[in-house]
Amino acid sequence: ALPIWKKYSITTTVFSLAPARMEESIEEHEEIIRLLVAKDYEQVEKLMRGHKMRAGFAMLREMEQREAKNQRE
């Protein structure tokens, strides 16, 4: 088994590129856990899909901003 941070290196990448995303991500995870406990699996799936999309967009947005900044310098 791989160490969790190596296995899920995308997590550290998202948070290193978009640290503001961390608080929102924690809140989303808390809601996912609440829905799992409530056995509302349809909402879990919906929230997970949105969670992954928001994380991806945050990372992409940050990468684009860094690239634009580098081009200006």
DSSP string, the chain: ---HHHHTHHHHHHHHH-TTHHHHHHHHHHHHHHHHHTT-HHHHHHHHHHHHHHHHHHHHHHHHHHHHHHHH-
CA triple 67-24-38, angle to 5 deg:
140
Predicted TM-score (pTM) of this structure: 0.65
With a cut of 50, say whether residue 5 has pLDDT above it: no
With a cut of 80, say whether residue 3 has pLDDT above it: no
The per-residue pLDDT for range 13-31, each reduced to its tens digit, is 667 777 777 888 889 989 9
d(CA 71, CA 33): 42
